[in-house]
């Protein structure tokens, strides 16, 4: 199934010439256009793409790499699957444009093992691009060389974190690295590397195709363009939608016909749980930031059960490298079990929330820094249901 309403910016037919157009520009022009468009990383972290590319372009090295992070593992996210499957050209052109912009010759798609069934199709597509001279040596006669290979993940959520992903590509356990140094200077095999989300590459191709000004017509102040959201849970029309930044939760719910919603989890397991009283909040980097996951829970759902499912997820997926995350997530899960048994005191609950806040500060990578989010937001926003009445 394609994107349900790909008519705002993701209309593929319109962006066929993105690559051709890009190769007529200088790498500097491309980076400037991306910066001008204010494109921010679509994977969730929201780092300015143009800045990342500029740093990699300025880095001096004999080799550079472009990595497409297709390790879409955040619960409730599946828009990258749809992009890779149905909007392949946009993604591949985006990567190639990124390669040209930072002057790299090699690209790697890190595809999550769960999506292995897409592998053959993607390989065939890359072959086609090579035959059409849009990949490989002397692309479109411009003298630019760039090729892409695909590497598979093996079932580890933490590899979605860019330095863990690089570790994995280098043949190691997917354990996050200390930053700095950042991948733009010291990335894959020690070479300057940009790691971007699938959607970010597609958006970059769209910007080059249509220009920064056109791109910025959609969205709100610091969040330009559109976002692909993956909507699941209690609604009549789940799926992937293209929405303008700034859309409210209420409007999203209307769009997918969710009548009975009492809570919306924005940003996946590591995101925020938004109660009905806050449905006017907006999808944007300033307010509710999301890599694309939106999960809807209706009035019949047990929020404690949902929270427990999230915390079990984090206990399993923590790489175990640092103690705030390795031990903290276990403690939070045990806390939930105590609440279930009606044995958790108020004092202890507050201690757990404090623990969560320490994890947000002290964990080494995004996993442990964000895993307390559902715990804190569900226990704060649904205290009555989850805690007081147990």
Q: Which residues lie near ligand SF4 (CB under 6 A)? A: 158, 176, 318-322, 325-326, 363-365, 367-368
- Distance of closest approach, residue 151 Cβ to another protein, in angstroms: 7
Q: Rounded to whole angstroms, what are the CA distances from 227 to 3, 44, 80, 218, 302?
A: 11, 11, 12, 10, 29
Contact region for another protein (CB under 8 A) — 32-40, 41-49, 115-123, 343-351?
A: 115-123
Least distance (Å) between residue 185 CB and another protein: 20
Q: Per CB under 8 A, does 364 bind another protein?
A: no
* Binding-site member from 106, 162, 234, 287 for another protein (CB under 8 A): 234
* Residue placing its CB nearer to ligand SF4 in the complex, 105 or 369: 369
- Select the binding partner of residue 176 from ligand SF4, another protein, none (C-beta < 5 to 8 A, by kind): ligand SF4
Q: Is 269 in the site for another protein (CB under 8 A)?
A: yes
The reply on whether position 317 binds another protein by CB under 8 A is yes
- Tell me how far apart the alpha carbons of residues 89 and 14 are, in angstroms, rounded to a whole number: 12
User: Closest separation between CB of residue 368 and ligand SF4, Å?
Assistant: 3
| Cβ 156 to ligand SF4 shortest distance, Å | 10
Instruction: Pick one of 98, 187, 219, 239: the residue that binds another protein (CB under 8 A).
Output: 239
Distance separating alpha carbons of residues 165 and 167, to the nearest angstrom = 5
Partner that binds at residue 234, options another protein, ligand SF4, none, CB closer than 5 to 8 Å by kind: another protein
Interatomic CA distance for residues 320 and 362, integer angstroms: 14
Q: Which is nearer to another protein, 134 or 373 (CB)?
A: 373
Inter-axis angle of helices 323-340 and 372-381, nearest 10: 30
Per partner kind, with CB cut-offs from 5 to 8 A, the member of ligand SF4, another protein, none near residue 322 is: ligand SF4
Rounded to whole angstroms, the Cα distance separating 261 from 76 reads 16
The reply to whether 160 sits near another protein by the rule CB under 8 A is no
CA-CA distance, 182 to 179, in Å (whole number)?
6
Least separation in angstroms between CB 186 and ligand SF4: 18
CB nearer to ligand SF4: pick between 68 and 325: 325
Task: List, in sequence order, the alpha helices (H) in the chain.
Answer: 18-24, 27-36, 49-58, 79-86, 88-102, 119-131, 162-169, 198-210, 212-216, 249-255, 303-317, 323-340, 346-362, 366-370, 372-381, 383
Q: Is 12 a residue that touches another protein (CB under 8 A)? A: no
Helix (H, G, I), strand (E, B) or coil at 378: helix
Torsional sign, CA 52, 77, 291, 271? negative
**Residue ranges in 34-93 that form contacts with another protein under rule CB under 8 A:** 72-78, 80-81
350 lies in the binding site for another protein (CB under 8 A)? no
Q: Which does 97 bind (CB under 5 to 8 A by kind): another protein, ligand SF4, none?
A: none
Query: CB-wise, 152 or 349, nearer to another protein?
Result: 152
Task: Name the β-bridge partners of 195.
Answer: 67
Identify whether the C-beta of residue 268 lies closer than 8 Å to the C-beta of residue 75: yes
Would you mind telling me the total number of residues written for the chain in this entry?
Answer: 390
Which is closer to another protein, CB of 76 or CB of 225? 76
- Assign residue 192 a region (left: φ > 0; alpha: ψ between -120 and 50; beta: otherwise): beta
Nearer to ligand SF4 by Cβ, of 297 and 313: the residue is 313
Using the rule CB under 8 A, which residue among 250, 262, 301, 330 binds another protein? 301
Neighbours of 218 (CB within 10 A): 18
Q: Give the C-alpha separation, 73 to 71, whole Å.
A: 6
Query: Tokens 């002397």 map to which residue?
Result: 138
- Residue 156 interacts, among another protein, ligand SF4, none and using kind-specific CB cut-offs from 5 to 8 Å, with another protein
Query: CA 200 → CA 10, 265, 313, distances in Å?
Result: 12, 22, 26
Dihedral pair phi/psi, residue 230, rounded to 5°: -100, 115
- Stretch 129-158: interaction string toward another protein, x if CB under 8 A: ----------------------xxxxxxx-
Shortest spacing between CB 115 and another protein, in angstroms: 7
Residues within the interface to another protein (CB under 8 A): 72-78, 80-81, 112-117, 151-157, 168-174, 189, 230-234, 238-240, 265, 269, 295, 297, 301, 306, 309-310, 313, 316-317, 319
């Amino acid at each position: 199934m394609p994107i349900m309403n790909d008519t705002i910016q993701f209309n593929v037919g319109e962006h066929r010439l993105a690559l051709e157009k890009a190769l007529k520009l200088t790498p500097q022009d491309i980076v400037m256009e991306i910066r001008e468009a204010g494109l921010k990383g679509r994977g969730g972290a929201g780092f300015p793409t143009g800045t990342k590319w500029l740093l990699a372009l300025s880095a001096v090295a004999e080799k550079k790499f472009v990595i497409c992070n297709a390790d879409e593992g955040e619960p409730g996210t599946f828009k990258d699957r749809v992009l890779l499957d149905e909007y392949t050209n946009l993604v591949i052109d985006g990567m190639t444009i990124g390669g040209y912009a930072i002057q790299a010759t090699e690209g790697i798609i890190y595809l999550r093992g769960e999506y292995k069934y897409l592998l053959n199709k993607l390989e065939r597509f890359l072959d086609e691009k090579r035959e059409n001279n849009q990949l490989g040596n002397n692309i479109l006669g411009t003298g630019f060389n760039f090729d892409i290979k695909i590497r598979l993940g093996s079932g580890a959520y933490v590899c979605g974190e860019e330095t863990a992903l690089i570790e994995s590509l280098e043949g190691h356990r997917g354990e996050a690295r200390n930053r700095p140094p950042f991948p733009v200077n010291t990335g894959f095999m020690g070479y300057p590397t940009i790691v971007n989300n699938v959607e970010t590459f597609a958006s970059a191709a769209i910007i080059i195709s249509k220009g920064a000004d056109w791109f910025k017509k959609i969205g709100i102040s610091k969040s330009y363009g559109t976002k692909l959201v993956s909507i699941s849970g209690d609604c009549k029309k789940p799926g992937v939608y293209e929405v303008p930044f700034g859309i409210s939760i209420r409007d999203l719910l209307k769009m997918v016909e969710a009548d009975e919603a009492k809570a919306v989890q924005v940003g996946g397991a590591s995101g925020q749980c938004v109660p009905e009283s806050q449905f006017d909040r907006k999808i944007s980097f300033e307010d509710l930031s999301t890599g694309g996951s939106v999960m809807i829970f209706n009035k019949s759902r047990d929020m404690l059960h949902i929270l427990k499912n999230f915390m079990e997820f984090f206990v399993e997926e923590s790489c175990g490298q640092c103690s705030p995350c390795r031990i903290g997530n276990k403690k939070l899960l045990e806390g939930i079990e105590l609440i279930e048994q009606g044995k958790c005191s108020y004092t202890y609950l507050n201690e757990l929330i404090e623990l969560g806040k320490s994890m947000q500060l002290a964990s080494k990578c995004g996993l442990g820094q964000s895993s307390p989010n559902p715990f804190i937001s569900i226990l704060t926003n649904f205290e009555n249901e989850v805690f007081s009445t147990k």
